[in-house]
Amino acid sequence: MENNSYERKTPKEEGVHTDFISRMTYGEYLQLDDLLSSQKRLSDHHDEMLFIVIHQVSELWMKLILHELKSSIDCIDKGDLSQAFKMLSRVSKIQTQIIHAWDVLSTLTPSEYIEFRDDLGQASGFQSYQYRMIEFALGYKTKHVLEIYKKDPILLEKLKREHEAPGLYDVSIHALAKVGLPIDETVLNRDYTETYVANDSVENAWLEVYRNVDRYWDLYELGEKLIDIEDWLQQWRFRHMKTVERIIGHKMGTGGSSGVGYLKKVLDHRFFPELWDIRTKL
């Protein structure tokens, strides 16, 4: 006797669209054919797919970070801090996703990676132009890295524009000045192609904000958003460094960098130094 009591039927949704002959589909909107055909392995090794996908996903997240950072810079410059806060909060959440990506990549063992590493040639994450643009947006300007992108004149010109533009911290410091907090003219009119260096007037301005939270609530919140972003970025850098060390030890990077040695060195850089220093002085 046939028992139908355990049969499970998928409920039919009467309003679901099934005719897409003349309508745009989900896959077409997201251009999934192009996106999902972009993982082209150079070897036959199974784990190269993992390596490619992790880096492509990270680049997509970085694209969104740049989208949010650029808009937040514009908002802060215009005095619309509340709108910028939403964008900066989103950046911090995105950063957590990239950090977790390193956990997935760390499942790649040294023995597995060495099987296809030579196929990468000199290609390296060190050459990620979006990562450089994020550094530029946060005030870390390294002119010598522009040499890497001479192969693509259009991209090089784009990077030069970002290299010369004021960053997130620059517009934040200008926001301090706009409410009457004294900031040295050398800071307000600084050369944006140079990496930001800590300044006493900026530190004193942030101290004033943090000592008078009720009076400067928006600037106080801005300072904490900046701290969030740097905190997560340093955790991202740390997980990157430890993942590289776990997979290749202290070998030179494929792009010619010192690998783990270079990644450890950049961990010492601070993007918003005064915001960290005032914590000791409050």
> Is 280 annotated as belonging to a binding site?
no
Count of Cβ atoms closer than 10 Å to residue 275 Cβ: 22
98 is in an annotated binding site: no
Question: DSSP H helical segments within the chain, as ranges?
Answer: 26-29, 32-36, 48-78, 81-105, 110-113, 129-137, 153-164, 168-178, 185-188, 200-211, 217-248, 260-266, 273-281
148 is in an annotated binding site: no
Cβ atoms within 10 Å, residue 272: 22
Residue 254 is labelled as binding a ligand: yes
Say if residue 202 carries a ligand binding annotation. no
Rg (CA), the chain: 23
According to the annotation, is 240 in a ligand binding site? Answer: yes
Nearest to 282 by CA among 172, 169, 204, 221: 204
Judge whether 20 and 14 are in contact, CB under 8 Å.
no
Is 17 annotated in a binding site? The answer is no
Residue numbers belonging to the annotated binding site? 51-55, 113, 117, 240, 254
Residue numbers belonging to the annotated binding site for substrate? 51-55, 113, 117, 254
Residue numbers belonging to the annotated binding site for heme? 240
